[in-house]
Amino acid sequence: MEKLISEFSIGLFFWQTVIFVILIFLLKKYAWKPILDAVNDREEGIKNALLSAEKAKEEMVSLQSDNEATLKKARAERDLLLKEAREMKQQLIEDAKDEAKSEAKKIITQAQETIQSEKNAAISDLKNQVASLSVEIAEKVLKEKLSNDKAQMDLVKNLVKDVTLK
């Protein structure tokens, strides 16, 4: 112990302490702080990158399930649309048929009506011509027969007898 104390150099102790304390502060400012900060930043970066990768993975899984759901929905919609289209086609055909039927009916009716009215017109025309012809014939006959009064009287009597009042 005595040897240790006698060997103890105050000068060495002084310089060692001074240099070491200065070294601590210099290294703290120019080395340890930047190094530890850089390492910390790097570790944070790795941690964040891992976290975001995990998140992206989860997002992808949810996206995939979303996709599937959308696909399913689209398929169902397509089926529905097809069904609707089929029904509409059927409907259209039926409607067209009905319309055609009713149109045909209408045309037939119109034709019948026209025919009837034409027939009536022809009949009445014929009647008129027959009437005028009859009148002409009667005139000629009468002119010949009724050249005296007796013949005229007989005729009137006959005519009146024949005519039925309607």
Partner 1 sequence: MKQSKYLLSIVFLLIFGLSTFASPIKVSDKEIKEDGGIKTEIKDYITHHLKDSHSYSLTSWVDEDTGKKVYLELPLPVILYDNGFHFFMSSKLKHGKTVVESNGNFYRLNYDKSKIFKTNKEGVFDYDKDNKILNYAPLDFSITKNISTIILVAFIMFFLFTNLAKSFAENKGISKGIGRFFEPIILYIRDEIAIPNIGEKKYKNYMSFLLTIFFFIWFLNMLGLTPLGVNVTGNIAVTFSLALLTFLITNFTANKSYWGHIFWMPGVPVLIKIVLAPIELLGVFIKPFSLLIRLYANIQAGHIVLYSLIGLMFIFQNLIGSSLSFVLAFFISIIEILVALLQAYIFTMLSALYFGFAVAEDDH
The contact set with partner 1 (CB under 8 A) reads 4, 7-17, 19-24, 26-28, 30-36, 38-39, 41-42, 45
Min separation Cβ 12 and partner 1, Å: 4
Token duo for residue 96: 């067209």
For the record, the structure tokens of 117 come out as 């009215």
Supply 56's token pair: 């992206």
Comparison of 19 and 85: residue with beta carbon closer to partner 1: 19
Nearer to partner 1, 19 or 133 (CB): 19
Residue 35 beta carbon to partner 1: minimum distance, rounded to whole angstroms:
5
Residues 151 and 145 sit within 8 Å (Cβ to Cβ): yes
Q: Is the dihedral of CA 101, 103, 107, 112 positive or negative?
A: positive
| Least distance between partner 1 and beta carbon 1 (Å) | 10
